[in-house]
Amino acid sequence: MRKFITFILIFCISSLVLAACNNGDADNSTYSFELAMDSPEDTVTYLFGKKFAELVEEKSKGKIKITVYSSGQLGGDREICESVQNGDIAFVVQNTAPQVNFVPELAVFDLPNLFPNTEVARKVLDGPFFDTIAEKYEESNIKLLAYADQGFRVMTTNKKIETIEDFKGQKIRTMENPYHLAYWEALGANPTPMAFAEVYLGLQQGTIDAQENPYEVIVANRFYEQQKYIINTNHLIHLISLITNLQLFNDLPEEDQQIILEAAEEAKVWAREQADLRVESRINTIIENGAEIIELDDKLKGEMAVRANIVYTKIRSEIGDELVDSILKAVSDVL
């Protein structure tokens, strides 16, 4: 009997030690991931990605480490989006525009003047519509984690815009996006796709008359040195998405998935706060350097909206009515 009791005690102790060792091994294992972006460090895009990486490491107690690569170190926007889709890069932070090549339904964010302000945009993107668009990402093996933003895209020019006729003939640089081109054409301007690196020289030499970008980009690239006016067209919100590979995310243990989701949520909120603060700072820089900021009156905004209908029709024909109507309803519901 004594031997039997001794055996039982040894077995129980051995089992406990083995369990502790196994638990220790699990707790000490780590994941190392990359997070890529095409944007430089002095941007909300970088701040968003860096904050996310820090929060993941903190919440996982060092178990999950994410190294951030900025300024296109791992490729341009299109390349890194393709890489995250294929699972070659774990995380990407970027604007939605290049993702249209992989998730065509993201053209819904090219609907001009969709959001009256950032508050409405953020409420829509934090509501049920987020799940709707996230499903479209998943069809392309991409997991959408969060949307932050960099405020609205606005127009800079040397011609004061006060009436719809003032847009006529202006050579404005845009991204090579068919919906963006169609919008400016509808306003009467002459949209001209151009490599971003050539924009400052183009403004300086008069190859182009105008360009459109968020305030942060305008100041970072000193476009205000070549432009007299910043026109608050607020035609598109500049979304910044945080995405990962769907299969990679699904293969992680549930507790690690939760850490990533919580970190993405917190980083999103923080990045939006930084975006608002930086817009105010950039506006001050522009004014201090002699450029004038122009607010559009309601009459002109209304005329621009009417002309933008052609873009809505174009996007509906490409992605269908259901998604367009869904986001329009989401906007209406929060107004």
For residue 193, give every residue at least 6 positions away whose Cβ sits within 8 Å of its Cβ, in sequence order, or none. Answer: 173, 174, 175, 176, 181
DSSP readout, 110-152?
GSTT--SSHHHHHHHHTSHHHHHHHHHHHTTTEEEEEEEEEEE
The tokens of 215 are what? 């305030």
Residue-number span of the structural domain to which 284 is assigned: 30-334
Direct distance between the N- and C-terminal alpha carbons of the chain, in angstroms, rounded to an integer: 79
Q: Where are the alpha helices (DSSP H) in 139-253?
A: 178-186, 199-205, 215-220, 246-251
Helix, strand, coil share of the chain (percent; to 5)? 55, 20, 25
Confidence band of 199 (pLDDT split at 50, 70, 90): very high
Does the residue 111 lie in any domain? Answer: yes
- Mean pLDDT for 218-242 is 95
Does the residue 23 lie in any domain? Answer: no
For residue 269, give every residue at least 6 positions away whose Cβ sits within 8 Å of its Cβ, in sequence order, or none. Answer: none
Note the pLDDT tens digit of each residue in 82-96: 999 999 999 999 999
pLDDT value at residue 20:
39
| Comparison of pLDDT for 56 and 71, the residue scoring more | 56
- Mean pLDDT for 165-169 is 97
Does the residue 11 lie in any domain? Answer: no
pLDDT value at residue 263:
98
Q: What total of structural domains would you count in the chain?
A: 1
What angle do helix axes 118-125 and 321-334 make, rounded to 10 degrees? Answer: 120
Q: Is the pLDDT of residue 9 over 70?
A: no
Does the residue 9 lie in any domain? Answer: no
pLDDT value at residue 29:
66
DSSP readout, 257-313?
HHHHHHHHHHHHHHHHHHHHHHHHHHHHHHHHTT-EEEPPPHHHHHHHHHHTHHHHH
Does the residue 140 lie in any domain? Answer: yes
- Mean pLDDT for 247-254 is 97
Q: Is the pLDDT of residue 25 over 70?
A: no
| Integer Cα distance of 297 and 12 in angstroms | 79
CA 28 to centroid of chain Cα atoms = 33
pLDDT value at residue 5:
41
Summary mean pLDDT of the chain: 91
pLDDT value at residue 76:
87
Confidence band of 265 (pLDDT split at 50, 70, 90): very high
Does the residue 58 lie in any domain? Answer: yes
Q: Is the pLDDT of residue 205 over 70?
A: yes
**Model pTM?**
0.85
Query: How many other CB atoms sit within 10 Å of the CB of residue 319?
Result: 18
pLDDT value at residue 28:
58
Confidence band of 152 (pLDDT split at 50, 70, 90): very high
The H or E element spanning position 33 is strand 31-36
Asked if 325 and 132 count as a contact pair (C-beta separation under 8 A), the reply is no
Does the residue 24 lie in any domain? Answer: no
Which CATH number does the domain housing residue 170 bear? 3.40.190.170
Using a pLDDT cut of 70, give the percent of the chain over it. Answer: 91
pLDDT value at residue 13:
35
Does the residue 10 lie in any domain? Answer: no
